[in-house]
Structure 1
């Protein structure tokens, strides 16, 4: 089935936003890099923020689906899957074009805590945290909420270290810390 023009626009805009940032990407740049006219963009999205939100929703869906599939392929048990999260992060960090987390980047660019872009970014993080909490519950670990929060801190720290300092060991270091926390 042929992708709709709206979906095509969101997919292309996602790539442009990820590589260039949200505020640095104006409508003229989107037109130039996506090949989609301003008229067509505004036909589907009233504002640039609406397009950003659609791109973030698509990224959330793509990333979480990929992450969960990879984790489930790598590890069989819930506790091993918690640790496999960091193996999956290491894969992601090594991909061509890795530019950090789109949701961290969006939160940094949209400082207003009430802004919908900020809320969409928080929702993405909370959904991943909920997935980890579910794994912790399945593994019958004590205090799955705390474990999920701790794993998220390690995950987010690894993402920032891999992106900002280009640490080649960020995911492995975070996995080792996670192993210690799970054993405690």
Structure 2
């Protein structure tokens, strides 16, 4: 009997699945809809309907739709930073390996079914005002990404790491578009070779 009681007590004390907050549910729905359909084409009402909440509840968490767009982009930025950190960890300080892994990852991601381009480039295309909070969020993330690339190639001792980083960002942007038309291996290989060529020209 005591053993059975212990089992029941243990099961009752086990934590159940974490309850997803309303804010998180809104953000999850927005992430799916924004990326698939575009930022301006998705209304707040469409998100409210998807989540199954009232307008009052929605605006309690996000004062405006633009606030939600910024939160969506910040979430995307967090995910990309985690992905980049994982790549750098795998490379183990080897700059050439890091470049190869970057190219491989971008090739794979850009050729994945459902891929609709870089969410930050997409956002910039929809928000022309560079002083808008959305554009500032995009600019902050791209500044971070460029800085990561510059830091990554510095151990190779190129003559102009800042200029190379700018060119690598352009190559990455192009590869994201090429993913619509190519296959992962081709995109990855082409990006890696182009990156190596740019770096070698500054050695």
Give your verdict on TM over 0.5.
yes
**Residue of structure 1 in register with 2:68 after alignment:** 51
Residue 135 of structure 1 deviates from its aligned partner by 0.8
Residue 90 of structure 1 deviates from its aligned partner by 1.2
Residue 175 of structure 1 deviates from its aligned partner by 1.8
Q: State whether structure 2 residue 142 is matched by structure 1 residue 125.
A: yes
> Would you say the 8 A contact 1:75–1:84 is kept in 2?
no
The ranges of structure 1 where at least 4 consecutive aligned residues each deviate by more than 4 angstroms after the TM superposition are: none
Q: State whether structure 2 residue 156 is matched by structure 1 residue 167.
A: no
**Larger deviation, residues 68-77 vs 82-91:** 68-77
When the two chains are superposed, the root-mean-square deviation of aligned CA atoms in Å is: 1.9
Q: Looking at CA atoms only, which structure, 1 or 2, has the larger radius of gyration?
A: 2
Query: What pairs with 1:23-38 in structure 2 (closer than 5 Å)?
Result: 23-38=40-55
| 1:77-106 C-alpha deviation (Å, 9 max, x unpaired) | 023212321111012123332111110000
Residue 76 of structure 1 deviates from its aligned partner by 5.1
Give the whole-Å Cα distance in 2 for the aligned partners of 1:54 and 1:112.
18
> Would you say the 8 A contact 1:100–1:159 is kept in 2?
yes
Give the whole-Å Cα distance in 1 for the aligned partners of 2:104 and 2:88.
8
- What is the TM-score when the length of structure 1 is the normalising length? 0.89
Match of 2:77 among 39, 51, 60: 60
Gaps of 5+ in 2: 1-17
**Residue of structure 2 in register with 1:105 after alignment:** 122
Corresponding pairs, count = 182
- What is the TM-score when the length of structure 2 is the normalising length? 0.81
> Would you say the 8 A contact 2:99–2:192 is kept in 1?
no
**Residue of structure 2 in register with 1:181 after alignment:** 198
**Residue of structure 2 in register with 1:41 after alignment:** 58
